[in-house]
Amino acid sequence: MPQTRAQPTVVSQRWLLAAAISLGLSAVAAALLVLARTPGLTSFIASDSFPRALVVHVNLATLLWYFSMASALWTERLDARRQKLAGILNLCGAAGAFGVIATGLLAPGTPTLANYVPYLDHPLFLGSLALFALATLFTASISLSRPRDAAECGFVIARLPFFMGALYLLLAWRQGMGLIDALWGAGHILQFGFVTLMMAIWLRLTQNAGVTAPPSRVTLALFAAASLPGVLAPALLLGGVDHGTLHGLHTQIMRLSNWPAPLIFGLLLAFQPGARRADGFVASLGLYCLGIFAGTAIDSQTTLIPAHYHGTIGAFTLAQMAAVIARLSPTHNIREQATPTRRPLSIYAFGITTLICGLAWSGALGAPRKTGFSPADAEPGTIIAATLTGVGGTITIVGVAYFAIIVVPRIVRLCRSRTATMPPHNPSQPAATFAAAR
């Protein structure tokens, strides 16, 4: 008789499904952005579709994908008492995500290209986004438990900036701050949570490959250093700092404290024997370094800015993609022996690197951000850089679509079953969970 083996909770599998679908759909919206930035192809889309496509893409590729994936990792192991509430929150999150997509595509309203959280100026869009965010925030709260190893500590610590981002929005609303500025500040805070979560994923990926982790004290100190700066912005609001000064302080906090801890931690892991065997880790670290390098060259509102954040968020996305594949790799069902291919990770890494190079080159030539390519009076260098951006974006989309096609059907099958089985006398197979200690 097959043995019952531990696997993530059903609610965790459903969050994982929401995450994979969000990333897959983001590729569809990204296709419009690639067309709008590629010479010779801009005529295929309406000139006014770029802002709306950007709103939908950013929300799918960052907030919905990141928050759903975080919720999937946080809820891998829950006792029966908390699973019912977690399931209700998952349904609320799914409803909010559907509302964001539907209203983003169909509802009237003006696209507002705010940094970090662009939005459609429509109550249904904003309400859907708020519902989704609240569902994930409460999921983070009810899934808290005592960590059993350093990586689990990282997944716990990563919650802090999420809570601080919510606190910042409440304080900003109370002080009468405009929505654009409030979301910009909260978006800054969330970056500290994202990099802490990425570091925890890096640690688990390398541990799965048999790499010896740095000492626990060093690891926890770096997790704290990555996450704690997220506390500063709400503290500044409570301290009565005026909004003009606050904007500059946000930027300085990000510039000085967002990159050292993940960079140091990534290099510590990379120099351990066997680190290259960890799926996606080296490429994720490389993208993060590329994003940091592009950020040092920013001096105006050009495409150097998206080159910078496509490096950093690309690193996080690649790490999460690797985490999904790692979680699906064990044999969850005796009828499904094959493990998912890692090829989408390589395609995505190559594509996003090419995209970053094209955006950086275009930015160095003065191309403005948040707009499509304009062929009027374009110089040859500008055309080549824009073409490189389009090629990189296309390859990235292929990688994301390939990933979604591979993982979504597997997750759907897992959502239909509460238990997974394996043949007896086979204890060497890895556990089904990823974030949870084994």
Q: Is the pLDDT of residue 105 over 90?
A: no
Local structure of 209: helix, strand or coil: coil
Domains of the chain (ranges, CATH numbers): 3-422 (1.20.210.10)
Of 189, 136, 185, 197, the closest CA to residue 322 belongs to 197
What whole-number percentage of the chain has pLDDT above 90? 63
Instruction: Indicate the helix (H) or strand (E) that contains 257.
Output: helix 243-257
Question: What distance in Å separates the CA atoms of residue 278 and residue 272, rounded to the nearest whole number?
Answer: 11
- Please state the rounded mean pLDDT for residues 344-357: 96
Query: 241-274: per-residue pLDDT in tens?
Result: 777 788 888 888 888 899 999 999 999 999 999 9
Region 4-18: mean pLDDT is 85
pLDDT at 428: 38
Residues 6+ apart with CB under 8 A from 2: 334, 421, 422, 423, 424
The pTM for the full model equals 0.90
How many percent of the chain have pLDDT more than 70? 88
β-strands 3-5, 420-422: how paired?
antiparallel
Name the residue with tokens 């699906």.
328
- The lowest-confidence range among 48-62, 69-83, 261-275 is 48-62
